[in-house]
Amino acid sequence: MYKLMTPGPTQVLENVRMSRSLACTNPDLDTEFVEFYKETCELISSLLHTKNETLILNGEGILGLEAACASLTEANDKVLILDNGIYGKGFADFVNIYQGVPEIYHADYKHTLNVDDLAAYLKDHHDFKYATVVHCDTPSGMLNDISRICPLLKQYNILTVVDSVSAMFGEPLDVDQFQIDLLCGGSQKAVSAPPGLTFVTISDDAKKAIKNRRTPIASFYANLKLFENYYETKWFPYTMPISDIYGLRTAFNNIAADHKLLNRHKIIGEATRNTLQAAGIKLHLESGFSNTVTVFDTPDQVHTEWILDKMKSEHGIMLAGSFDDLAGKVIRIGHMGANATISNMIETLSALDTVLRELNVSLHVSLSEYFLHYVNSNPA
């Protein structure tokens, strides 16, 4: 077994794994399970600082994104796609599948989305039913300022669909204050449960838009409306994955009890970036650094696979490369959720230091020593 230091799936703590082995009831017939599901949804809403309803759906993160788009999109609806990363651009596919018309707002892939530029664009272009935004675009580690982007879109009555799968609980997120209509999360990133579940928070405006559709939602599995009266009728659209939800609940209990979680992400993110730069390693981005993942360019004289293979086979640690245009060009360290501890980072950076030196990459500092020094002089 490798120590996972990938930007999802992340490490799963023992109490989450144990919860997944609890005795099972019939989730369709046992009304206690409906209560448990609803309480878990309410816990998620409270941790995301929202009065909006949360629904847990039986599929990994992608299902949440598709369900948001499927439930909002009707034929010929215009949708603004904010694109400064691979996931950002990917939303256009869902809009196309459901016969909407995506308008891609393309921005620099090395910089956080410039909100002033977007504001200028929206002055003359704001006839959109909704817009899609990625909070942390994981393949590059790009963080976008949804605290400013979503309220700006709402000024034009544009609904917002936010993918925060790899940012939530590692980056500050206040759904009501940021005015997010549909927020999508997943179990396998900072939440630190195994892959398999997604959850979506739904605002009243989004519910209204779904209710006022002229045509039915063109999906069953990705249809948020099917859950409308689940609690009153004690009936789910399909049988809920009870063990997955037991595990998810414990993962959220862990988050609720961990009052230093966000602060730890901030310190670790900053310390990791500072350490790599001090060593002479080039960070991939110019701005918009998420504290959940650090992405650096593969040094010139080596191959990405050499580093990843040595980290695995000689140190038992799994880091990630990336995909699409970034395949073979960068390395990603996922320091989110249960991965995000000082000791995990010391172990990872110490191994990375050894691997890079063995591959004749010169480093100006010792990675683990610099990191530790940084953390100790900037305590959480």
Closest separation in Å from C-beta 369 to ligand PLP: 31
Closest separation in Å from C-beta 302 to ligand PLP: 26
First vs last C-alpha separation in the chain? 30
The packing angle between helices 342-358 and 304-315, to 10°, is 120
C-beta closer to ligand PLP: residue 9 or 27: 9
C-beta closer to ligand PLP: residue 95 or 367: 95
Question: Helix or strand or coil: residue 132?
Answer: strand
Instruction: Tell me which of 62, 262, 278, 302 binds ligand PLP, using CB under 6 A.
Output: 62
Closest separation in Å from C-beta 167 to ligand PLP: 8
- Pair 82, 105: CB distance under 8 Å: yes
- DSSP state letter for 51: S
Instruction: Tell me which of 19, 27, 48, 60 binds ligand PLP, using CB under 6 A.
Output: 60
Instruction: Tell me which of 66, 83, 163, 181 binds ligand PLP, using CB under 6 A.
Output: 163
Q: Which stretch binds ligand PLP (CB under 6 A): 25-33, 55-63, 241-249, 314-322?
A: 55-63
Instruction: Tell me which of 27, 100, 186, 269 binds ligand PLP, using CB under 6 A.
Output: 186
Q: Which of 131, 108, 163 is nearest to 288 (CA)?
A: 108
Question: Is 269 one of the binding residues for ligand PLP (CB under 6 A)?
Answer: no
Q: Which of 35, 337, 14, 46 is nearest to 187 (CA)?
A: 337
Print the binding letters for residues 66-105 with ligand PLP: x by CB under 6 A, - otherwise.
---------------------x------------------
- Pair 266, 340: CB distance under 8 Å: no
276-304 burial string, b = 16+ CB within 10 Å, else e? bebbebebbbeebbbbbbbbbebbeeeeb
By CB under 6 A, name the binding residues for ligand PLP: 8, 60-62, 87, 134, 137-138, 163, 165-166, 186, 189, 195
